[in-house]
Amino acid sequence: MALDSKIPNGPIADKWTNYKDHINLVNPANKRNLDIIVVGTGLAGGSAAATLAELGYNVKAFCFQDSPRRAHSIAAQGGINAAKNYKGDGDSVYRLFYDTVKGGDYRAREANVHRLAEVSANIIDQCVAQGVPLAREYGGLLDNRSFGGTLVSRTFYAQGQTGQQLLLGAYSAMNRQIGRGKIKMYNRHEMLELVVVDGKARGIIARNLITGEIERHSAHAVVIGSGGYGNVFFLSTNAMGSNATAAWKIHKKGAFFANPCYTQIHPTCIPVSGDHQSKLTLMSESLRNDGRIWVPAKLEDAQAIREGRKKATDIAEADRDYFLERRYPAFGNLVPRDVASRAAKERCDAGFGVNKTGEAVYLDFAAAIERYGKEAAHVKGLNENDKTLVTKLGTDIVKSKYGNLFQMYLKIVDEDPYVTPMMIYPAVHYTMGGTWVDYNLMTTIPGCFSIGESNFSDHGANRLGASALMQGLADGYFVLPYTIGDYLAPDIKMGPISTDLPEFVEAEKSVKDLINNFISNNGTHSVDYFHKKLGKIMWNKVGMARNAKGLAEAMEEIAALREEFYKDVKVPGSANEFNQELEKAIRVADFLELGELFAKDALHRNESCGGHFREEYQTEEGEALRDDDNFAYVAAWEYKGKPSDAVLHKEPLNYENIKLVQRSYK
Amino acid sequence: MKLTLKIWRQKNAQDKGGIVDYPIDGIEPDMSFLEMLDVLNEQLINKGEEPVAFDHDCREGICGMCSLFINGEAHGPDRGVTTCQLHMRMFKDGDTIFIEPFRAKAFPVIKDLVVDRSSFDRIQHAGGFISVNTSGNTIDANTIPVPKVDADKSFDAAACIGCGACVATCKNSSAMLFVGAKVSQYALLPQGKVEATERVLNMVHQMDLEGFGNCTNTGACEVECPKGISLENIARMNREYLAASLKG
């Protein structure tokens, strides 16, 4: 099967407008005859469900949480990008497009990224109209801040809770439609299979997580907005329930899975403290606006800190190595995430790490506190040389910017980051790979769409900060509602789809068989036992730096672990009740397949780019070394029974507007 | 640390339920409260017993999924945190810890420590929104300036995570802090003023239908709220409600 990305012709700046003007529309009366299933209620799924219902379609929305408002988009902290140029600092749609393609290390699809940049400004207008309380300046207008990988201030925010506020905005739009009866909401439901009839997606099989009942739901189209697969690493900044099951089930039914190896390791997370750890907590990238990252310049100082003989504040300014500022003078602490993460790992691997495990660097706010404090003292006409006063004034300002993050850090680590520098280390955060989609956001299964983090399209090999929220909402509010109409137009006279079709019966049976196997397995180890083992393999061999030998080993180890899992996993309780262990077992089974494909993809990609770093392919200075002649393509994998047998399909990436160059942030 | 856990076990909504004792050892002060329960559940599974069901998701204090009444306090003894952010360093070696579900007529127990909070969703279906279509064809976001003070207060109200600690801790099981925060978020913004009358009447009506109690101004909700939602929001809702009733 040849991949057709369906990118419209014409100049890049006109593609989306021209395309919208010429696609098929469904008239309002006919929309009432069409059903759409949306799986996931984060920024992408929530905004899509609300908009599709507003347009008149009958929407059924599903989430595994107890309310759509709890989807993990809620935890996004820093902000959302938009090419508004409110600051007059030279921003434009083209610059946002360019920064995103460059930030993605030239592995994203140009046409999709340009469309994203075009609709970005609308998102802010929309959210403000919905009552999302974004941060404002004293004049009453919206405030901005800077994020990594850019030279302009284009990030809108709501303290450190931007994702929460934007999700509550999408949730409020959903509430309006739920109240009108246009969205039927299924909380505490998990999609466990896609139903394909005559080659088209026509429904899903879902499990009611409270009663355990297996339900059939039909629709004219199915939209997957179920997020990323970072939890394949067990430890990540994802929520405990974040899973790849919906995305993986459609993959097994024929949707190609693209670029699984592009995974973002976020540089600023709270380091691992012990084996009991269940998840990792992000400290927003926005902290790099004001925080300076460093390690001791001398090995003996680093060792003294690790052994508790010295503290960060004992190290003189001259003995500190601000390694990002040293290596990347132009972008300094605001280099993109992949670059910052690798630089931290490089220092820690060289023995300069600063916590017990040797895997942590400092993020220091002392300079910012002093700078802000002096400015505040000056404005108030007070003594700028009074150190105590300046520290107090500066601390207040830092608190107003990042208060909730500092409090979160204090509660977890039990150290006050206003006084001693934070300790941070990279952790798995976001997955750029995902289901392959064409320009319409449709997968290789007709009628099955994939939006937000669950698709692969806009971030290439590395996502810039504050771009995930932008993409989720762009897909859900402004892209899918157009493109899905074009697909549904021929179906207007079809009428409701029966759930008694043999395809539904068969799909339901396969789900029930899977569940019964787990319940009657009577193994010896819990689901977490296997999940943690998988996570260790992934982190050690498919993590921040990868090589061919380790990746080949990882594939074998994961396949063996998967076999052991099916033989020996123990799932207590029964199928027909609220059973959290059963939920986990089904999710981990899918991670055990996805992890192997992930390693296979990383092994085949003989280059380094963005979040994919192969030790064999680096420049003399240790930067990622791309191979554009051989790897400027999307790797889309077709399921063939076992992950190791997956078949590769290539979508060439043609850069017509941006010249491919070695990425430089120096 | 060595602890005695006294945990509410209830098979399903119909079951009567009761407290069961679980001794546990080897707990480290750096563990979060939920990681301590993970350790317990791992032990129970290995012994062939059923693990304790509890709600949780983000484990960083923002999704609002975790709950738990710990030693008689919603989200436990620490202030300004959810249960997932509560750490075992708040307890002492040898402590006995009571762990119960959030209790309210409008939050029926599903299993063990898991409760059904969909009543909160239904209150928001009744009016927790601004009726604007998501077409993107709205006015430029900077067309209407919003005074920073109002925007900040609106944000403070909007920071509510919908966990239900206010209801669980209130002797009347009142949801006034939750509903007050939602009403306030929109009432403070120019965009929300157009529908203000209908919104407050509809949301309060639904709140009453769900079986939440009334507010008697004890203020326990504000103390236990992990996000520091202020009682001012209840006062603002009462003013909005009174004005709306007079108009209506």
Q: What are A584's two structure tokens?
A: 């986990």
User: Closest approach of chain B CAs to the CA of A656, in angstroms?
Assistant: 29
Mean pLDDT, residues A152-178: 96
Domain end position, chosen among A428, A459, A478: A428
**Chain B contact for A179 (CB, 8 A cutoff):** yes
Measure the CA–CA gap between A373 and A394, rounded to whole angstroms: 4
Contacts of B140 in chain A (CB under 8 A): 125
CA–CA gap between residue A505 and residue A293 (Å, rounded): 57
Residue A63: both structure tokens together: 């989430």
pLDDT in tens, A612-624: 999 999 999 888 9
* A569 three-class SS: strand
Q: Which domain holds residue A396?
A: 266-428
Structure confidence by residue, pLDDT tens digits, A610-654: 999 999 999 998 889 999 999 999 999 999 999 999 999 999 999
Q: Residue B54 in contact with residue B114, Cβ under 8 Å?
A: yes
Q: 């899992």: which residue's tokens?
A: A565
**pLDDT at A224 exceeding the cut of 90:** yes
Token representation of residue A635: 């790797």
ipTM over 0.95: yes
User: Average of pLDDT values for A30-42?
Assistant: 97
Domain edge (last residue) among A410, A428, A446? A428
Are the CB atoms for A564 and A610 separated by under 8 Å? no
- Choosing from A107, A207, A306, A337, the catalytic residue is A337
For residue A406, being part of any structural domain is answered with: yes
Cβ within 8 Å, pair A126-B138: yes
Q: Give a yes or no: residue A503 inside a domain.
A: no
d(Cα B40, Cα B45) in Å, to the nearest integer? 9
Q: Both A409 and A270 in a single domain?
A: yes
Of A361, A360, A357, A392, whose CA–CA distance to A374 is shortest? A392
Q: What is the pTM (predicted TM-score) of this model?
A: 0.96
Q: Using the 3D structure, point to which of A428, A459, A477 is the last residue of a domain.
A: A428
> How far from the centroid of its chain's Cα atoms is residue A204's Cα?
24
Residue A501 falls inside a structural domain: no
For A193, other C-beta atoms within 10 Å of its C-beta total 26
Tokens of A18: 């021209």
Mean pLDDT of chain B: 96
Residue A337 known to be catalytic: yes
- Give the closest residue to A185 by CA, choosing from A176, A197, A193: A176
Cβ <8 Å between A131 and B120: no
CB nearest A131 (choices: B32, B57, B130) = B130
- Residue A74 has its nearest CB partner, among B58, B85, B114, at B58
Please give the average per-residue pLDDT across A381-406, as a whole number.
92
The total number of structural domains that make up chain A:
2
The answer to whether residue A108 is domain-embedded is: no
State the average pLDDT over residues A97-124: 96
CB contact under 8 A, A168 and B158: yes
CA of B114, closest CA in chain A: separation in Å? 10
Taking only residues 226 to 245 of chain A, the set having a beta carbon closer than 8 angstroms to any beta carbon of chain B reads: 239-241
Q: Residue A123: inside a domain, yes or no?
A: no
**CA distances from residue B137 to A46, A115, A129, A326 in whole angstroms, order as listed:** 19, 16, 10, 46
For the domain that residue A422 is a member of, what is the CATH number?
3.90.700.10
In sequence order, which residues have a C-beta less than 8 Å from that of residue A450 and are 6 or more positions away? A223, A224, A225, A247, A250, A255, A434, A435, A437, A441, A442, A443
Q: Which of A187, A575, A210, A571 is nearest to B14 (CA)?
A: A210
Q: Are residues A369 and A515 in the same domain?
A: no
Q: Are residues A280 and A424 in the same domain?
A: yes
Which residues, in sequence order, are CB contacts of A593 under 8 Å at separation 6+? Answer: A248, A562, A643
Nearest chain B CA: its distance from A282 CA (Å): 9
pLDDT at A367 over 80: yes
Of the residues B117, B120, B134, B139, the best mutation for testing chain A's interface (the one with the most A CB atoms within 10 Å of its CB) is B134
Residue/partner pairs of A329-333 with CB below 8 Å, 24 or more apart: A329/A666, A330/A665, A330/A666, A331/A148, A331/A149, A331/A151, A331/A665, A331/A666, A333/A288, A333/A291, A333/A292, A333/A293
Yes or no, beta carbons of B87 and A161 under 8 Å apart: no
- What pLDDT shows up at residue A147? 84
Averaged pLDDT, B59-65: 96
Interface A-B: count of C-beta contacts within 8 A: 210
CB contact under 8 A, A126 and B136: yes
Residue of A nearest to B62 (CA): A75
Q: Say if CB A36 and CB A45 are below 8 A apart.
A: no
Provide the CATH number for the domain around residue A546. 1.20.58.100
pLDDT, tens digit, 9 for 90 and up, residues B172-213: 999 999 999 999 999 999 999 999 999 999 999 999 999 999
- φ and ψ at A424, to 5 degrees? -135, 160
Compare CB distances from B154 to A133, A411, A477 and report the shortest one's residue. A133
Which amino acid type is present at position B234? I
Confidence of residue A662 (pLDDT cuts 50, 70, 90): confident
* DSSP letter for each residue of B208-241: HHTT-B---S--HHHHH-TT---THHHHHHHHHH
Domain identity same for A531 and A640: yes
Q: Record the tokens describing residue A611, joined without a space.
A: 């979040």
Closest CA to A282 of A471, A428, A104, A466: A428
Residues A518 and A638 in one domain: yes
Q: From the centroid of its chain, how far is CA A651?
A: 22
Note the Cα B131 to chain centre separation in Å.
Answer: 25
Output the CA angle B199-B202-B207, nearest 5 degrees.
120
Task: Tell me how far apart the alpha carbons of residues A289 and A145 are, in angstroms, rounded to a whole number.
Answer: 8
Q: Give dist(CA A77, CA A1) in Å, integer.
A: 41
* CA neighbor of A200 nearest in space, from A249, A258, A250, A244: A250
Q: Is residue A15 part of a domain?
A: no
Distances A651 to A5, A111, A661 between C-alpha atoms, Å: 8, 14, 20
- DSSP string of A425-441? EEEEEEE--EE---TTS
Q: What is the pLDDT of residues B115-161, one digit of tens each?
A: 999 999 999 999 999 999 988 788 999 999 999 999 999 999 999 99
The residue assigned the tokens 């959290």 is A580
Question: β-pairing, B96-100 with B114-115?
Answer: unpaired
Residue contact A176–B129, C-beta within 8 A: yes
Same-domain status, A270 and A415: yes
pLDDT at A164 over 90: yes
Q: Distance between CA B165 and CA B225 in Å, rounded?
A: 6
What is the CB-side half-sphere exposure of residue A562 using CA atoms within 13 A?
A: 22
pLDDT of residue B248: 64
CA–CA separation, A649 and A644 (whole Å) = 15
What's the CA gap between B131 and B191, in Å, rounded? 10
Chain B residue closest to A181 (CA)? Answer: B125
Contact at CB, B60 and A408, closer than 8 angstroms? yes
Instruction: Out of B45, B139, B147, name the one closest to residue A125 (CB).
Output: B139
For each of the domains in chain B, give its residue range(s) and CATH number, in order of start: 3-110 (3.10.20.30), 117-247 (1.10.1060.10)
Name the amino acid, one letter, at A317. Answer: E
Please judge whether A572 and B46 are an interchain contact, meaning their C-beta atoms are less than 8 angstroms apart: no
Round to whole Å and give the CA distance between B121 and A165. 16
The answer, yes or no, to whether residue A485 has pLDDT greater than 90, is yes
- Give residues with Cβ within 8 angstroms of A349, minimum separation 6: none
Q: Could you identify the residue written with the tokens 């509890």?
A: B54
Contact residues on chain A for B50, CB-CB shorter than 8 A: 572-573
Which pLDDT score, from 0 to 100, does residue B137 have? 80
Q: How far apart are CA A147 and CA A99, in angstroms?
A: 11
Q: Is the pLDDT of residue A413 over 70?
A: yes
pLDDT at B7: 98
Helix/strand/coil (H, E, C) string of A171-235? HHHHHHHHHCCCEEEECCEEEEEEEEECCEEEEEEEEECCCCCEEEEECCEEEECCCCCHHHHCC
Residue A527 counted as domain residue: yes
Separation of alpha carbons A583 and A590, rounded Å: 12
Q: Is residue A197 part of a domain?
A: no
A233, A58 Cβ separation under 8 angstroms: no
The token pair at A440 is 């319409």
State how far the Cα of A45 lies from the Cα of A48, in Å rounded to an integer.
5
Residue of B nearest to A50 (CA): B134
Quick one: A390 and A284 in the same domain?
Answer: yes
